Amino acid sequence: MIKFENITKKFKDKKVLKDISFEINKGHLVAFIGASGCGKTTTLKMINRLIKPSSGKIFINGEDIEKKDVIALRRNMGYVIQQTGLFPHMTIKENIEIIPKVEKKNKDEITKRTMELMEMVGLNAKEFLNRYPTELSGGQQQRVGVARAFATDPEIILMDEPFSALDPITRVGLQEELIDLQSHLKKTIVFVTHDMDEAIKIADMICIMKDGEILQYDTPENILKNPVNEFVSEFVGKNRIWTSPEFIKAEDIMLDSPVSCLSNLTLNRCLEKMRSNKVDSLMVVESKTKKLLGIINAKKIQETLDRSKEVNEVMETNLISVEPNDSIIDILQLVEDNNVSTVPVLDKNKRLLGLITKSSLVTTLSQQFIDTEEGMLS
């Protein structure tokens, strides 16, 4: 969709961007983040040619944007900035409709679209359309800015720190609305922010920049779990994962090699295997497929008089399980609701991949406090 190829930007003798290359996929929301002066806003403004690169090329849908008419290019992009950019002498209606009218769209279609946009951003059309920007709160003005950006139904929306000047409650509300809008409309959104929490919350991909270079361009989950270097780790925050526990998955905390047995093993042999492996239960699996059949625990064996019986005669088959991508939040709720101490992790074919125990959960949760204490000490 959007491709940067060896882009460099110099202002006088200073290199603001240093040979950066990356791609933004269609329908993704990409957040650019970094300290002031890192080049994130310069990068964004190059997409609509408000800033021209010193070298390199930018492509949209395979077409070099330098060869496109700049006015047509910008009219096909939405643009939302921190100060909203609303014209103070125009009503809200006039602000939203300015570009569609310049493009000589059908009057009835423009009116219909304006009403849809007001509903989309949660503003009552009758109440707000004939007001002026100064008569609206900051949050309401920013909603109008978003509505105007969507007025021509563009493929690409550029958002330069749009929520940074708002109070925290309004900001969180607009973040939630943007996430909801994006889930339905699937626009390609380039979003500049200085707030890591905001980036993690809204983005499909995060681009962390420093001194005109891209340090890491990855999913929020991968950046939280696998920061590429110490700077990214410090910038993100070493215990930041705990503010987004939905990114902690079953596969991250499971025991990779749970002790298992076959269904035809005798109970005596099961006890021996438990003792030698220092566990109190065994996962019962099929020999070839490793598909989980059930679980046998020491208590059940001790209650059985005839220890020559095979596991399949007494094992528990009504099991609570999770998949590798289930979050720790879901797992904790499952453990609490079902009062279980062992949760197998299965793939789509019910093959055993790992095991989550109360012990592994406690170890994971206790790490939160270790990380927090280390952060305070440092």
Written as one string, the DSSP assignment of 178-226 is HHHHHHHH--EEEEEES-HHHHHHH-SEEEEEETTEEEEEE-HHHHHH-
Domains of the chain with bracketed CATH: 2-246 (3.40.50.300), 251-363 (3.10.580.10)
Which position has the token pair 């059940």? 300
Confidence (pLDDT) at 49: 94
Encoded tokens for 236:
């993100």
Nearest-angstrom CA–CA distance, 173 and 171:
5
pTM: 0.72
Half-sphere exposure of 57 (CA within 13 A, CB side): 10
Q: Is the dihedral of CA 345, 347, 349, 352 positive or negative?
A: negative
Query: How far, in Å, CA of 316 to CA of 344, rounded?
Result: 13
d(CA 335, CA 1): 43
Q: What is the DSSP letter of 23?
A: E
**What's the pLDDT score for residue 224?**
85
DSSP alpha helices (H): ranges in the chain? 40-47, 70-75, 92-102, 107-120, 125-128, 138-149, 168-185, 196-202, 220-225, 230-236, 250-253, 267-277, 298-302, 311-314, 328-338, 358-377
User: For residue 16, what are its two tokens?
Assistant: 């603001």
| pLDDT for the residue 108 | 92
What is the side-by-side strand order in the sheet with 205-210? 77-81, 156-160, 188-193, 29-33, 205-210, 213-218
Which pLDDT belongs to residue 367?
59
Question: Which of 226, 251, 270, 234 is CA-nearest to residue 331?
Answer: 251
Closest C-alpha among 119, 45, 46 to residue 81: 45
d(CA 171, CA 194): 13
pLDDT of the residue at 257: 87
Distance between CA atoms of 299 and 316, rounded to whole angstroms? 12
Ramachandran angles phi, psi of 203, nearest 5°: -95, 150
Estimate the crossing angle of helix 107-120 against helix 92-102, to 10 degrees. Answer: 130
CA distance 229 to 121: 39
How does 43-60 read in b/e, with b if 16+ C-beta sit within 10 Å? bbbbbbbebebeebebeb
Written as tens digits, the pLDDT of the chain (378 aa) is 999 999 999 988 889 999 999 999 999 999 999 988 899 999 999 999 999 999 999 999 999 999 999 998 998 899 998 776 889 999 999 999 998 998 888 999 999 999 999 988 889 999 999 999 999 988 899 889 999 998 888 999 999 998 887 888 888 888 888 998 898 889 999 999 998 889 988 999 999 999 999 999 999 888 988 889 988 988 887 666 667 777 888 888 888 889 999 999 999 999 999 999 888 889 999 988 999 999 998 888 988 989 999 999 999 999 899 999 898 888 888 888 888 888 999 999 999 999 998 777 776 666 554 454 444 444
Query: How many other C-beta atoms can be found within 10 angstroms of the C-beta atom of residue 166?
Result: 19
